[in-house]
Structure 1
Amino acid sequence: MSFTLKPRNGLPYAIATRLPRFPFALILLPMLLAGCEAELNLAAVSQETSHASLRTDHYQALASNEAVSVLVGNDGVVLVSPDQGLTWQRQQLPGKPGLIDVDACPDGSFIALGFDNRLWHSADQGQSWNVHALPTEEQMLTATCAPGGAWWAAGGLTTLLGSQDQGASWDTTSLDEDAMLTTLQFLDADQAVVTGEFGLVFNSTDAGQSWQASGNLPDEFYPHTSHFVSLDEGWVGGLNGFIYHTVDGGQSWQRQDTPSTAPIFNFSANRDGLFAIGDHSSVLHLSGERWQTVPTPNAPVYLRAASSGDDHRLTVAGGRGLLLNLDTRPALAAQAQ
């Protein structure tokens, strides 16, 4: 397999002989968003208009702890918000790395993954960052902090990297599949789930020391994102607006009805329920077994980053500096009518 890497808007992307191999190329494809079920009502939408967010920004991931939210994207851009996405402060990491993932750790620090296989760590609420090179030639696509404090990354050739000492040393595990791992989630200190190319689903019950196959996604579905609430129940999203749901640990999957054909790039949950975001500025809310449209500004750009707290607020961000702070209560009230 060969790839041609070119910089675009400061963020490298890959085009392979099999397009879904890397999800980053897909955010550049024009996709049509199906018509909304309800008339747009933007009274609950506030958009960041300060110079912190620029039209040249292309955001990829967002994470929050109790004090701040951290948003990352192309050209090493890092935005930090101390007030749940209402205002932001901007900085740019040295070397302008293309940042593709970020997570909040149990100790309040943050890790951010670069497309160049370097992991950045901030112990001061996103104000300064130290960098660690990952010991692999495989492309890492996702990074997370486990509840016990370990750092993890996953990606090419089903490679998993784990560090118990904040990047000083790493253990390498492979699931022995010629596939990309695209999502990694720890449910608690022991339980974790990974999904990947060709519909792969694996789980761990011993803090990532060993992994077991847990069913397969239909039609070798390529998952851009996943959200599990237990080893038994979870959702995955990807191309064509497809969202699949399992309640038996991945042994069977049911495709849920969605009003959009735009790719799904992320899930986020708050007290109002589960939300999915994707291309063409689409935001969906799960109502029963169906997904319904949440009104947003109609923009032909992707939304990829999402984070929500314990209140009714959902912060989403994506291409061309699009950064929205949504109050999910009016949207739910409109759906109930």
Structure 2
Amino acid sequence: MAQPVADRLNTPALLSSRADQSLLLDIAASDKQLVAVGDQGIVMRSIDQGRSWQQQQTPFSVMLTSVYFADAEHGWLTGHDGLIAATDDGGVGWRTLLDGHQINQLRLQKLQQKMAEIQVLSDAEPDNDLLAEQLDNIAWQAADAEAAVEEGAGVPLLDIWFADAQHGFALGGYGLLLKTGDGGDSWEYWGDRLDNPDNFHLNAMMADHRGYLYIVGEAGLLFRSEDGGDRWSRIDTPYEGSFFGITEFNQQLYLMGLRGHLYRSSGGLEWSPVETGYQVTLLSAVAKADKLVLLGQGGMILQSPDGQTFSQLPSGGRHSLSAGLALNGEYILVGEGGLQTLEVAHE
């Protein structure tokens, strides 16, 4: 007889002496501590600027994909199976806020409500082709949401961002976007506010120096909100492949994605290509006051003093690098090989 598959949403992560060498996908700094997250529910924490790390106990063992702190105590993480979890003690203890089962229900209820509203308008204007098209689209999305409810909690969340300890967003696969206004205690489905009828994956989110919010994703997707995330506009980009990251350096925005594609914009609307000389997929960036560092597959690390000319830094291996941060003259990086520290060369 086949053994039942473990519910990783409710199975605690195993503690391991080699957890710092496991696949880690994101890292965040919060006051005096650093927190990194990754495979099988692993949460690593350092209180000595990254010189030593301790694995924290967590009540879940799904793949963890992102982590974000609004202040020294309050942080959130996302993972596969729709996991959102929170900490209020700087990353020591974590509690589950939401999972994929609940997300599927939120999405279905929101889409059914919207479909009913559009149906009323369409009944009043039966010859309105635009309303008919909107109704067809929302009906398709509602049917897809019904199927997701039946299939279970499989939706992956890929990024999380908070403006403060109360207001934040989580996003991920199949066009999923969620919003909270109470620190994550309750969430609303927000994906219907994006012009994303094909439900392409949403990969990353950030805010620029003006407070404008950006979301990047599959198929060259780029969305921007100028009002804190209530309304979103879709921005045309010169690339139809996936974007995995967006960052700001010297008040210039940078989009990065498959096969080394990198684009720059001064305002976020018009984008021009930046040639790095490499065609390795770029996954994320670390922006300091005087340097922009791009991280990618195969251990790729590209550094630039001006955001225009790049040179490759030695990574010490071929493991892909997912995220990083700059701290005390070093880059602390995470990826396939776990945690890695790289000294910043002084020029």
CA distance in 2, matches of 1:107, 1:187: 21
User: Which structure's relative contact order is higher, taking Cα pairs within 8 Å and 6+ residues apart?
Assistant: 1
AA of the residue aligned to 2:331: L
* Corresponding residue number in structure 2 for 1:237: 256
List gaps (5 residues or longer) in structure 2.
9-15, 105-154
Question: Does the 8 Å CA contact 1:226/1:236 hold for their aligned counterparts?
Answer: yes
* C-alpha spacing 1:291/1:171, structure 2 compared with 1 (3 Å): same
* Corresponding residue number in structure 1 for 2:58: 93
* Corresponding residue number in structure 2 for 1:136: 103
> In the TM superposition, what are the counterparts of 1:1-337 in structure 2 within 5 Å?
51=17, 53-55=19-21, 57-106=22-71, 108-134=73-99, 135-137=102-104, 139-147=156-164, 149-173=166-190, 174=192, 175-177=194-196, 178=198, 179-187=200-208, 190-214=211-235, 216-228=236-248, 233-251=252-270, 253-288=271-306, 289-297=308-316, 299-309=317-327, 311-321=328-338, 323-330=339-346, 333=347
Question: Does the 8 Å CA contact 2:166/2:184 hold for their aligned counterparts?
Answer: no
* C-alpha spacing 1:268/1:306, structure 2 compared with 1 (3 Å): same
* C-alpha spacing 1:287/1:187, structure 2 compared with 1 (3 Å): closer
* C-alpha spacing 1:188/1:161, structure 2 compared with 1 (3 Å): farther
State TM-score, norm by structure 2: 0.73
How many angstroms does 1:136 deviate by? 2.3
How many angstroms does 1:244 deviate by? 1.3
How many angstroms does 1:157 deviate by? 4.3
* C-alpha spacing 1:158/1:228, structure 2 compared with 1 (3 Å): farther
CA distance in 2, matches of 1:77, 1:148: 23
CA distance in 2, matches of 1:272, 1:326: 17
Larger helix share, 1 or 2: 2
* C-alpha spacing 1:184/1:122, structure 2 compared with 1 (3 Å): same
How many angstroms does 1:54 deviate by? 4.7
* Corresponding residue number in structure 2 for 1:42: none
Instruction: Give percent identity, aligned residues only.
Output: 25
May I ask how many residue pairs the two structures share in their alignment? 277
Question: Does the 8 Å CA contact 1:63/1:103 hold for their aligned counterparts?
Answer: yes
How many angstroms does 1:237 deviate by? 1.2
Question: Does the 8 Å CA contact 1:153/1:160 hold for their aligned counterparts?
Answer: yes
* Corresponding residue number in structure 1 for 2:138: none
Question: Does the 8 Å CA contact 1:270/1:314 hold for their aligned counterparts?
Answer: no
Q: Write the deviation string for residues 45-99 of structure 1: whole angstroms up to 9, x where unpaired.
A: xxxxx945454x1010001112111000001111101122221111342231210
CA distance in 1, matches of 2:174, 2:209: 25
AA of the residue aligned to 2:87: S
State TM-score, norm by structure 1: 0.75
- For the aligned residue pairs, the C-alpha RMSD in angstroms reads 2.5
